[in-house]
Amino acid sequence: MYDGKLIIPGLLIFLVLMISPILFNGLDAGPVPKPEKPVGVTKCVKSAQYMRTSHMKVLDDWRDETLRDGDRTPVEIDGVKYEKSLMNGCLKCHTDKKKFCDECHVYTSVKPYCWDCHYVPKETF
């Protein structure tokens, strides 16, 4: 191999850099986020597991149903009606964006652009 003296140490340095996160942190993914649940409400529009994985799908579906099909019939769970809306539905229970939404979004490094247009409760912009 030509220039093996340079290539092999170079490859080793590259490898160490690539696995450095594992070397430093092991297999620890950091503290698991604990979004604050709303007080006094036990049920969401779907199961907690479904909401955890697919709340964005719910929001997209609601948007298309209300906006395009004009179907704004509220979602009824245990006799409680929830408006199909982020601002006027979800955020009525989940009043603290920082302690609920941001908790996971920051952890998973997701930057949804909901808040460019939708108001956060008690927001001053």
Binding residues for another protein, rule: CB under 8 A, are 63-64, 66-70, 72, 87-88, 113, 116-119, 124-125
Nearest to 55 by CA among 86, 32, 12: 86
Place of tokens 């930057």: 111
Nearest distance from C-beta of residue 101 to another protein, angstroms: 16
CA dihedral (97, 101, 107, 108) positive or negative: negative
SS3 87: helix
CB 38 within 8 A of CB 94: yes
Q: Which is nearer to another protein, 6 or 117 (CB)?
A: 117
Nearer to another protein, 18 or 64 (CB): 64
Shortest Cβ distance from residue 108 to another protein (Å)?
A: 21
Question: Is residue 104 within 8 Å of 35, Cβ to Cβ?
Answer: yes
Query: Least distance (Å) from another protein to the CB of residue 113?
Result: 7
CB of 106 to another protein, least distance (A): 21
Nearer to another protein by Cβ, of 9 and 121: the residue is 121
